[in-house]
Amino acid sequence: MKKLDPEHWKRREAYEFFSNISDPFYMVTFRQDVTELYEYTKKHSLSFYYGMIWLCTKALNDIEAFRIGIKDEELVIYPYRRPSFTDLRKGEEQFYIVTTDMIDPIDEYCRMAAKQSMDQDCFIELNKETDDLIYFSCLPWIELTALTNERDRNDPKMKDDNIPHIAWGKYTRENDRIYLSISLEVNHRFIDGVHIGMFKERMDHYLETLAGESLPE
């Protein structure tokens, strides 16, 4: 982790402008073709859910804006963000939250996430809940069109939260392709639409790599 010098930050004016807004968070939902990931995870007997978490984490970490945060009242750049996701065991109704490290390649991550999720015996491991995370959730029963997230509006430091929230719902098939809608909630103090566009471009890049079965690291 390194400190960011606000005096030489190109985004300084925008950051200061949105810092004066009581609720600087916004959400975007976009449709994503995930055929290559679906086919790869099925071929290699991996979880599509964990594969999606790996894909989104990999793409998001390529973009510095998503890795900027505030720690001890100073702007910092995290070297990477780690996934923290909701999970649900078969036959149960109560979800729980699993936080993992981020490792490559996708196969190793999916197996590690599955084992850690299966071994966890509590709702959440609070000692792992740090500021360098990405929050993931999934509603596989419905086609997602939008999703908001809970926030503690009584927390005076709420506006400093730059943890991205990513969610998706049920995937659909169209002409032999697999699509789902991805909801991304971010803090406008740090993230603009151009960064969301970059995120999608990086997802497309890693999906193309998976299609060639050349595992990105």
> Domain with 56 in it: what CATH number?
3.30.559.10
Where does the pLDDT of residue 216 fall: very low under 50, low under 70, confident under 90, or very high at 90 and above? low
List the domain range (segments joined by +) for residue 143.
27-211
Q: Is residue 14 part of a domain?
A: no
Q: Is residue 183 part of a domain?
A: yes
| Token output for 79 | 């070297």
Q: Are the C-beta atoms of 52 and 168 separated by less than 8 Å?
A: yes
Q: Is residue 176 part of a domain?
A: yes
Q: Is residue 38 part of a domain?
A: yes
d(CA 28, CA 194): 12
Q: Is residue 9 part of a domain?
A: no
The label of the residue with tokens 């290559």 reads: 36
User: What is the pLDDT at residue 127?
Assistant: 94
Model pTM score: 0.95
Where does the pLDDT of residue 192 fall: very low under 50, low under 70, confident under 90, or very high at 90 and above? very high
Three-class secondary structure of residue 47 per DSSP? coil
Name 184's bridge partners: 28, 166
| Token output for 102 | 């981020």
Q: Is residue 169 part of a domain?
A: yes
Q: Are the C-beta atoms of 165 and 149 separated by less than 8 Å?
A: yes
State percent of the chain over pLDDT 70.
Answer: 98
User: What is the pLDDT at residue 212?
Assistant: 78
State percent of the chain over pLDDT 90.
Answer: 91
Nearest Cα to Cα of residue 189 among 17, 10, 56: 17
Residue type, 68: I
Please state the rounded mean pLDDT for residues 84-113: 97
d(CA 110, CA 188): 31
Q: Is the pLDDT of residue 167 over 90?
A: yes
